[in-house]
Structure 1
Amino acid sequence: MNEQSKAYLALIIGAVMIAFSPVLIRMAGAPGIVASFYRLAIGTVVLSPVFFYQYSKNKAVLNTRGVLFALLAGLSFALDMAFWTTGIMETNATIPTLAGNLAPLWVGIMAMVLFKERNKKGFWLGLLLALAGVSMLVIQDLYYPKGMFKGLMFGLLGGIFYAVYIILTQPGRKLLSTISFLYLSTLSAAVFLGLFLILMGHSFTGYSTQAWVLFFIMGVLIQAGAWFLINYAQGYLPASLVSPTLLAQPVLAGIFAYLMLGERLTFWQIVGGVIVVSGIYTVHFSSGRK
């Protein structure tokens, strides 16, 4: 098996692993922000030996601007996780995850405003498709109110902050190594989530044994393991292949939620979801800038 084949296998495994995340958050039964904190905190602990080994081996001096970008990216990721997981606990595992995956659209708009990049026609077509799909989800909730609108809004807010994270990652990765940026941004996100947790009056303790086991699984297998596999794949595969593959997450999350939690979507929610994913794919395949 050559390196590209290994990388694609790693990418597929990583994508499947992160698709379990919203389901595990629901199963933990703790507030979404608590589950997010422990996922990031445990992930930081797992990544620490790798970071400090590389740091001591290379005797590298961390670039100050790079560290600042990593810390700000961590804040953005913390806000993304807080909104996304709260949406999951308010509604179900699928709708907030689907809304959160609209991040590529916000990245394209932010790049146009901040960096004066011009998007191709395919981007705007994808944006219209995605918004049409989201509109179907909103209209569905207005006629059959089940709290989905709140979860959708939390997911959208999470996606916007994840887009900010992506924007900050671009200059940050030019100044720091992959492991340095990943570790510092994860550490920063864990610290900010801890602060949010305190400000919101949630407890760090008092959760079930099942919740603690799931916190550990999310920290080790998803935050450290899955994202390590994805970052490894990114070193060998083009973004045009990586990004669409990762967009399988909301689809897989919906399947896992049905199998493991018994969550069912209505016909119009499924149709709206398919349109949203189609729009996101269209954006990715037109990701080249004018």
Structure 2
Amino acid sequence: MTTAMPPAAPGRWAFAAMITGSACLAFGPLLVRLADVGPMASAFWRLALAVPFLLIMARIVGGPAALRLPPSPGIPGGGRSQAAVLLLSGLAGLAFAADLAVWHLGIMRTTLANATLLANAATFMLPLYGVVVLGQRLLRMQALALVMAASGMALLLGRSAQLSPQHLVGDLLCLAAALFYTIYLVAIEQVRLQLAALPALALATLVGAICLAPLATGGVFWPQDWTPIIGLAIGSQVIGQGLIVYAVRHLSPLVIGLALLVQPAISAGVGAIRFGEVPGPWELAGALMVVAALVAARLPARSKPRAD
């Protein structure tokens, strides 16, 4: 007599997917710098090239039905209408296009460390959204994790991410990108209530590419070297954002925000290898604090699982 294995929980791999997706996004600023097109063009190509891959993957994973909008609910409260899903998808795509536009401009106007650090201010905006809008209460361990994460970030990028007058415009652009990215994460999480991860991301990516198309022709548009552009499309958008869109359906705003801290940690390593910015003992201590914050943020979720 054989015993059937219990089915895996829907969000079993959500935390691992969030960390992996965030790690893939950490190489985005470097690829933007290496691209031989303008910042608006690199943002457009990132989305435009990713759309067909996402549509094909959605069709393979979910079949023909995956590319159809869910039927409108027959009773009140039975789900969002098709118009609401399209509206939320449009908001997610518009917010993501705005995020990429101002972030790519900021990357070209400030240091790599500043661009990564300030763009990940969503780390602190998401928990604030959870408390103010969703009415969530931070447990003691979660509040401690947030403090540890903030302290770790200060140590990790304390020397290389200092604000300076000459980088002020770029810093403000990257900070604005964090606000738009927070709106994107909130909107795409709502879309995920009705659509699977790949169709939701494909729809938002298509909207974002359409929004960026008029802005992409302002500078050099056609790349001579497609390697950085393809890296942005496949590594950042298809793999990185694909894993994050899957994960946001199953994780709390605090854990999502803290997982985004993987990006500046990896960027510090990229800076050390690519530009000789070797981290000192304080930066290494900051990296350990970030890891500890991620672990601390997960402890409450293990004792009291979140209902999906």
TM-score band, normalised by shorter chain:
0.7 to 0.9
Q: 1:57 to 1:166 in 2, by over 3 A?
A: closer
Q: Deviation string for 1:80-104 (max 9, x for gaps)?
A: 1122222211122222111122213
Match of 1:162 in 2: 181
Amino acid aligned to 2:277: R
Q: 1:162 to 1:242 in 2, by over 3 A?
A: closer
Offset at 1:148? 3.6
Normalised by the size of structure 2, how large is the TM-score?
A: 0.70
Amino acid aligned to 2:221: F
Match of 1:255 in 2: 269
Match of 1:71 in 2: 90
Note if contact 1:103-1:163 (Cα within 8 Å) is conserved in structure 2. yes
**Residues of 2 paired with 1:163 and 1:70: CA distance?**
14
**In the alignment, which of 43, 59, 64 is matched to residue 56 of structure 1?**
64
Q: Does residue 90 of structure 1 match 2:121?
A: no
Amino acid aligned to 1:204: F
**In the alignment, which of 181, 196, 204 is matched to residue 221 of structure 2?**
204
Offset at 1:61? 3.6
Q: Deviation string for 1:237-285 (max 9, x for gaps)?
A: 866877645422111112113312x163897x95997699589759956
Amino acid aligned to 1:49: I
Note if contact 1:112-1:119 (Cα within 8 Å) is conserved in structure 2. yes
Amino acid aligned to 1:19: A
Note if contact 2:106-2:173 (Cα within 8 Å) is conserved in structure 1. yes
* RMSD of equivalent CA atoms: 4.3
Note if contact 1:128-1:279 (Cα within 8 Å) is conserved in structure 2. no
Amino acid aligned to 2:193: K
Q: Deviation string for 1:148-172 (max 9, x for gaps)?
A: 4333322211111111112212322
Between the two proteins, the alignment pairs up a number of residues equal to 278
Q: 1:278 to 1:105 in 2, by over 3 A?
A: farther
Q: 1:249 to 1:67 in 2, by over 3 A?
A: same
Gap runs ≥5 in structure 2: 1-7, 71-81, 302-308
Offset at 1:190? 1.3
Normalised by the size of structure 1, how large is the TM-score?
A: 0.73
Higher mean C-alpha deviation, range 34-43 or range 168-177: 168-177
Note if contact 1:18-1:222 (Cα within 8 Å) is conserved in structure 2. yes
Q: Does residue 264 of structure 1 match 2:277?
A: yes
**Residues of 2 paired with 1:287 and 1:165: CA distance?**
26
Amino acid aligned to 1:56: P
Amino acid aligned to 1:30: V
